[in-house]
Each structure stands twice: as C-alpha cells, then as structure tokens.
Structure 1
Amino acid sequence: IDGFSKALLEDYTNRLDQPGRDYLQRVRGAVKRMGNLIDDLFNLSRVARGKVNCDTIDLSQLVQSVVEQLQKAQPDRRVEFRVTDNLITQGDARLMQIALENLLNNAWKFTAKQPHAQIELGITESKGENPPAYFVRDNGVGFDMKYATKIFSPFQRLHGVKDFEGTGIGLATVQRIVRRHGGHIWPEGAVGKGATFYFTLQPHG
C-alpha cells in the first residue's frame, strides 16, 4: 500500500486533483502509523523474552546517544538537556537503551510546543533501604494524575493523535523493561506543568 500510494503521488500527481492528493497523503499517513504500531508491538514482545544481562552500564552515556539522535532528526529544535554525569548501574544495556529511547522520545514529543523546552535525566537520593530512583523529567504538556494508573497500559493515550503522534506502546515497553530489572516505575505530572518518570533498577546478577 505504501509503495503504490507513493508511486501514485510521485508519478501521477499532475493527473490528480487536490482532494485526490489529500486522500493519498492520508493513506500514506495511516500506513506509517500502522508500521510504527507493528514495530512497537514487536519491541514490546521482544523485551519480555530472553535473558536479561547484568553488566555495568552508564545511563548518562546511553542518554547522550539518544539525545544526539533526536537533535539530528530535528536540528531546528532548541531543547535544553540536563544529564547527570556518571549514572553507573547494573543492567542490560540493550534493554535500557530501548527504555531510555522511549522515555526521551516522549519528553521530546510532549515539549514540542514549549518555547523553552527542558529535559533532564537525574537521580534521587536513597532513603533508608530504598534504592535511589533515576528520573526523566520534562516541562511539556504534562498529564492529569488521575490517569497515572493507566499510563503504562498498552494503547493508552492521554493526548490525541492529531496533537501528538504515537502508538501508545512506548511506556508499556519501558515498564516491562524496568520490571525485568527487578525495579519499579511511576509517574508524576500535572497538566501544563510537565511530567517526571521515576524508575528503580535492582537486577539480579
């Protein structure tokens, strides 16, 4: 479908009226969304299987690589990133890369309308026997905390597709990865005041 609709737009665009071109653009948009959904479902299924490696990983470096990808994709955007250095932990580097990509993609997406966008990766202080929590924070559109229990469910979207693209799979994938590392993840946010996602990691060596 994608190939044929692309060919029609490229080779027959002069024979189509404006409504016809608009319809084809909508078809291509729907195909793209379906492709993204299939990819995200595959990732969600994949992270639930296989062994979780327990290696020393630097979350700060992983985040920097994701930031570079985001900035390369949209070089005109100006976003202030604050990343705490040397966030060393134990875990599966491949899975944590996927988790951080999803969290940062969310932050990047939901700060798109913020003139002074800010995204931060940091860590809280440990309290007693509780391990420290890492967090990804942004000053984007935020969300209503009454939906906090639903935010990690597959296909749950708190914002319309017309406002922000997405499949509703990303946070479910993050939660699954964190749980496979023996940790927990929870959100805090407010409408118009941004969102913070906290997570702990306690992988079994």
Structure 2
Amino acid sequence: MQLLQGAPSARSDSGTLPAALWERCATDDPAALRACLDAAQPIEALPVRFAGLAAEGRAGLLDGRALRDADGRFAGYHGTFREDTGAAGPAPAPKPPSAPDSDFFTHAISHDLRAPIRVIEGFTKIIKEDYGPLLDRVGNDHLERVLGAATRLNGMIDALLALSKLSSQPLAPQSVNLSQLAGCVADDLRRSAPTREVEIAIEPGLQALGDPAMLRTLIDGLLGNAWKYTAKTAQGRIDFGRHAQLPDTFTVQDNGAGFDMRFADRLFGVFQRLHSASDYPGAGVGLAAARRIVGRHGGTVWAEGEVNRGARFHFSLPRGGTAPG
C-alpha cells in the first residue's frame, strides 16, 4: 500500500488515500503522527484506525518510510498496513525485516550504491593525478571536495548496513552488567582523545537483561554522543546511572551543547542533525541505532535537553521485554 502526504491523492489497495494522511488515521496522539509525517520520519508499528475512505473502521498497525524524488525532495510515504482481525491474543509486536527483504537491502547498499561511488572516486583521482598540476588551487580544491564527499557517502552506506543488521540479527538475551560495559566504553573514549578533560561518572551495579553485543553498541553510541557534544565544553561531565523514578530505566546525561526541545523528535531519525556536521562530525545514525536496539528489547528511548546546557538520554530495558531473536 502506498501512502502519500503532500500530493493530491494516491492509489492504494483499499482505494484513494487523501493527501493529509494524519487526518485520515485515528491515533491516540494525532499531533505526534502529524509531526512525524512533517519531519518525514519512519513510521514503525503505529496503531491506527482509518476513517473517511474505503478502509473506514479498519484498525491495525501502520509501517512506512519516506520516499524522495530525483531531487531529494520528500515525495510521500510507502508502507504497509497490518489489519487487526480481532482474534484473541496480544497485539502483534513489530517484526524485523524478513530475510529476503534484508538480503535485498544489503545487496542494494553494498553493490548498487557503491558501484557509482567507486566510479566517481576513481575518475576524480585520475583527473587529480593526470591534470592536477595544470589546475589552479581552486580546481584542486574542487577535486578534494568530490573525494571527501565520496568518502562520506561510503561511510553513510557502512552506517546504514550496520543499522539494518540491528533489525535482523538474532537476540541472545542474558544478564548484562551495564556499568562494566560503560566503563570499557569510557576507557576507549579517553584513549581516543587523551588530552581532553572530561569527568565520566558511572553508577556501579547497573544490571539489565538483553543481548550483550547490542547493549554494548547502545552504550557506546550514547556515551560516544555525550563525549562528542561536550567537546567544546571547558570542563565536560558525563553521568550514567539509573533513572530516579522509572524502573528498568537508565540515563546518560552531559553538560555539552544540548539541543532545542522543539526538535527533539528529529534526534532519532536516520541522518537527522540538529548541529552542523563540521562542528560535530558523525554518520548521523547513532541515535537511530539506539532507538532500534532499545525497541528490539521491548523498551523506549527519549531525550531532554537545553541549548548549551546539556542533554539527557533515557532508555528502558524491561526485564522479560526482549523480543525473540
């Protein structure tokens, strides 16, 4: 089923869908759905009820991803609707991509997208080697920019591949010492920049049930994010500990750049940035990976922050909440 927002209409298996999808889907939080659509963020297992079209009254789970036109502009959503048939039992949980879908995605990323990048990179190097001495400084600078962009594209593809694997790789839940994981990550961060003065406080005895490798990636991403955004703070501080009120919930807090809460929903989108890449480099998928990992463990992740006054990232890992691998 193809769902388009911002176009006059689109055809689907159930008829014509009006332009404003959020007006035709009844949810517990319609404002949040509209904000998600306006930001072109992925829709993942969203409970909805259709209204005002052929599918009126049908309830189920909506999944979708944003489409882009040839110029990179938002062109709508493409996704699926899994109808709730009313059968007894719990509501269906979000499922990772099937093996064929995952294999196709991996092939498309690793081959179809990398091939043209290799051509661009290869011919640019040939031009630089053969004609570089004939070009002025500006011409050579343009070639360096092309090579730099190709390197960044390869990095983005690597990040997308890693993100896709988080949805399909089997889970191996066991008791995990998060404090120990965080300590290892902190040591790695200090070794990566030994001249930085950052105080890292880790609450001892933090335990959770989950996949050790995935949770290592989660902690690495959240602590690494805090490390990055305290780079311009005179005396950086990072704290990792239990949430004061919520059970099975943990918080990573820093006193770095922070962010405007009006744009908090964008934080967990793929390649979504609230800061300049030149100021804070990165692939732009770290927090998207965090959301995916926490979601596969049956939890939620959210953020609070204030510009130039730091940020707090909270995530829950309910015991017994891990989905089967």
**TM-score normalised per structure 1:** 0.86
**1:137 to partner: Cα distance:** 0.8
1:174 to 268, 282, 290: 290
Residue 159, structure 1, aligned to residue 275, structure 2: yes
Unaligned 5+ segments in structure 2 are 1-117
Unaligned 5+ segments in structure 1 are none
* 1:135-169 deviation per Cα after TM superposition (whole angstroms, max 9, x unaligned): 11111110111111222121211112222112321
Change (3 A) 1:191 1:17: same
CA radius of gyration, larger in: 2
**1:24 to partner: Cα distance:** 4.4
Match of 1:190 in 2: 306
Q: Which is further off, 166-175 or 177-186? A: 166-175
* 1:84-137 deviation per Cα after TM superposition (whole angstroms, max 9, x unaligned): 112111110100111111112211111111111111111124x5xx52420111
Identify the structure with the greater strand proportion: 2
Q: Which is further off, 89-98 or 18-27? A: 18-27
CA distance in 2, matches of 1:7, 1:201: 51
* 1:54-92 deviation per Cα after TM superposition (whole angstroms, max 9, x unaligned): 111111111111122222222221111111112111110
- Which amino acid in 2 is paired with 1:154? V
CA distance in 1, matches of 2:310, 2:155: 25
Match of 1:101 in 2: 220
Match of 2:178 in 1: 59
**1:177 to partner: Cα distance:** 0.3
Matches within 5 A, 1:125-140: 125=244, 127=245, 130-140=246-256
Change (3 A) 1:7 1:101: farther
Match of 1:46 in 2: 165
Match of 1:91 in 2: 210
Identity of aligned residues (%): 41
Change (3 A) 1:147 1:74: same
Match of 1:29 in 2: 148
Change (3 A) 1:71 1:28: farther
Aligned partners of 1:138 and 1:194 also within 8 Å? yes
- Which amino acid in 2 is paired with 1:98? T
CA distance in 1, matches of 2:128, 2:234: 35
Change (3 A) 1:8 1:81: farther
3-state SS of paired residue (1:47): helix
3-state SS of paired residue (1:151): helix
Residues paired across the two proteins, number? 202
**1:25 to partner: Cα distance:** 3.7
Match of 2:235 in 1: 116
**1:26 to partner: Cα distance:** 2.6
1:81 to 175, 200, 209: 200
**1:5 to partner: Cα distance:** 6.9
- Which amino acid in 1 is paired with 2:230? T
CA distance in 2, matches of 1:9, 1:81: 45
Aligned partners of 1:59 and 1:88 also within 8 Å? yes
Higher relative contact order (CA 8 A, sep 6+): 1
CA distance in 1, matches of 2:154, 2:187: 24
Change (3 A) 1:15 1:97: farther
Residue 68, structure 1, aligned to residue 187, structure 2: yes
3-state SS of paired residue (2:175): strand
